[in-house]
Structure 1
């Protein structure tokens, strides 16, 4: 079953849903909903006060291109739309609306289930699934959403956000906002781009190289470190350092946990490392212990003081 915002609706549903994906408090056509897909006739916000203060942005990851939801061209209400061949470099400004309870629990254009409490969005031409940073131009607030649906198909609306995403941007009560939408693309190697420019998300680990066996100098001055993570800001690095220190306790002995700031071509990174170790066997033993404690992205490397 396709999304409420796709070009595969039956004609009667298209007439009844002239508003396209819901646009917040904007009223839907009067009368009963004969599409049999929805239990309410007019979209609305959920009851109660949904707290979004602790809701995290969508996390961009690489996904191979899929056919679901990317038919191109497609037609809705007599108007033709084309899906972009790639989201690379896409950035645009326009009006954002939102959709919520009426569509909650129904299928999106790529077959996923719409959840108004998650950070998702509908777009007419971006390839799906994809990711975008959406910025409210009136207050400067930004969120990252997963684009997995088609729409909105009325007026000059640029994007439809989930209720939760709209609330995080502060426009859920008004229904619409002026926004900038910038596509985030992720390559198979994990490298990330925002509107075509290299991107490292704040607090996101630096892309780790493939783990490999390292050579150890025979001299007593040589040393190895078990690197637990690398971050673009210091705060998450220090939190990881504290966590590792609590786990190791006094047993860390001569192998303390440090945060080392390193300047690279992609900016400054804060690397959380345990060491030094004088031989690879000791480093691997510590790595295995830490992986058992949840540090599953660790690597062993040489990293001079």
Structure 2
């Protein structure tokens, strides 16, 4: 029941936050431009930085008879199509990831990019470029790939034409930024019986364990590990593995790629799993020292 209510709440937030949708909650029937133009400061490019993906707005969804899957790997992601913009009607209302839409911020809506994402938008009609932070879903019109805030559209010259042919490129923070946020820290106690603590002594590991994982917890009671695994799957939709090692039942999430592991490690720590750490299993079935595999690659 708890999971059902969470899913209903998440879907309601997604639909309420989607740009270019109609509904009685808006005081304005027809979207329009504000009464003033953005200031120079309001149209400055935001600096791309690493941010954990929000729990809201990043699940697959269906809307208007269409199914949408969130992009899992954004490396090298580019797309060309029509950009539109949204403004006064949606100003101050919730976006799909739970933030408040500000038409004077350099933000945007996209149907399938993870939230938040940073994107470089190039207006192919006039050559203007800008960086926007994607924090909403939309536009749900055929042929349109991105909905720009009024400030972003003004900066790119889209307010003059209403729509424009654009190219979007996902920007990613430097790996040093990821490494800084995923540096190893001293494991902390998660509960009285579940702790995330690396062990020096190793034992035989299952053959199926291979690659990069995040250790969430270790407990002497398997039932506690199973309960934690259920919570992990329900709250984050992550695959969970439990294996016994040194008398402890260890809970792992993964496997992940390097960038994906860094993002999830930061997000899990921010959401209460402060003692989570990276651990890598080689093809020889040996577990590397977690402190040696806790940083992003150079």
Query: How far has the Cα of 1:123 moved from its partner?
Result: 0.3
- Aligned counterparts of 2:89 and 2:37: Cα–Cα separation in 1: 17
> In the alignment, is the contact (CA less than 8 A) between 1:21 and 1:98 conserved in 2?
no
Quick check: 1:107 aligned with 2:105? no
Q: Structure 1 50/43 Cα, relative in aligned 2: closer, same or farther at 3 Å?
A: same
Q: Deviations over 1:224-269 (max 9, x none)?
A: xxxxxxxxxxxxxxxxxxxxxxxxxxxxxxxxxxxxxxxxxxxxxx
Q: Structure 1 53/170 Cα, relative in aligned 2: closer, same or farther at 3 Å?
A: farther
How many residues are matched? Answer: 172
| Alignment gaps of 5+ in structure 1 | 1-5, 15-19, 23-27, 193-206, 211-305
| Alignment gaps of 5+ in structure 2 | 1-9, 184-298
Query: How far has the Cα of 1:102 moved from its partner?
Result: 0.3
> In the alignment, is the contact (CA less than 8 A) between 2:13 and 2:98 conserved in 1?
no
Task: Indicate the residue corresponding to 1:21 in structure 2.
Answer: 19
Task: Indicate the residue corresponding to 1:217 in structure 2.
Answer: none
| Correspondence for 2:50 among 58, 62, 66 | 62
| Correspondence for 1:78 among 65, 73, 78 | 65
- Aligned counterparts of 1:43 and 1:81: Cα–Cα separation in 2: 25
Question: Does 128-137 or 42-51 show the bigger shift?
Answer: 42-51
Q: Structure 1 10/187 Cα, relative in aligned 2: closer, same or farther at 3 Å?
A: closer
Task: Indicate the residue corresponding to 2:110 in structure 1.
Answer: 123
- More helix by percentage: 2
> In the alignment, is the contact (CA less than 8 A) between 1:58 and 1:144 conserved in 2?
yes
| Correspondence for 2:176 among 189, 192, 205 | 189
Query: How far has the Cα of 1:182 moved from its partner?
Result: 0.1
Query: How far has the Cα of 1:75 moved from its partner?
Result: 0.5
Query: How far has the Cα of 1:112 moved from its partner?
Result: 0.6
Q: Deviations over 1:174-201 (max 9, x none)?
A: 1100000000012562279xxxxxxxxx
- Aligned counterparts of 2:23 and 2:49: Cα–Cα separation in 1: 38
- Aligned counterparts of 1:98 and 1:166: Cα–Cα separation in 2: 6
> In the alignment, is the contact (CA less than 8 A) between 1:97 and 1:176 conserved in 2?
yes
* RMSD, aligned α-carbons: 2.9
Task: Indicate the residue corresponding to 1:8 in structure 2.
Answer: 12
> In the alignment, is the contact (CA less than 8 A) between 1:100 and 1:163 conserved in 2?
yes
| Correspondence for 2:83 among 86, 91, 96 | 96
Query: How far has the Cα of 1:171 moved from its partner?
Result: 1.4
Aligned positions of 1:249-264 closer than 5 A: none
- Aligned counterparts of 1:165 and 1:180: Cα–Cα separation in 2: 14
Query: How far has the Cα of 1:86 moved from its partner?
Result: 2.6
Task: Indicate the residue corresponding to 2:190 in structure 1.
Answer: none
| Correspondence for 1:143 among 130, 138, 141 | 130
Structure with bigger gyration radius: 1
Task: Indicate the residue corresponding to 1:50 in structure 2.
Answer: 38
TM-score by length of 2: 0.52
- Aligned counterparts of 1:145 and 1:166: Cα–Cα separation in 2: 10
- Aligned counterparts of 1:69 and 1:51: Cα–Cα separation in 2: 30
> In the alignment, is the contact (CA less than 8 A) between 1:86 and 1:127 conserved in 2?
no
- Aligned counterparts of 1:54 and 1:42: Cα–Cα separation in 2: 24
Question: What SS class does the counterpart of residue 93 from structure 1 fall into?
Answer: strand
Q: Structure 1 56/34 Cα, relative in aligned 2: closer, same or farther at 3 Å?
A: closer
Q: Structure 1 38/156 Cα, relative in aligned 2: closer, same or farther at 3 Å?
A: same
- Aligned counterparts of 1:144 and 1:109: Cα–Cα separation in 2: 20
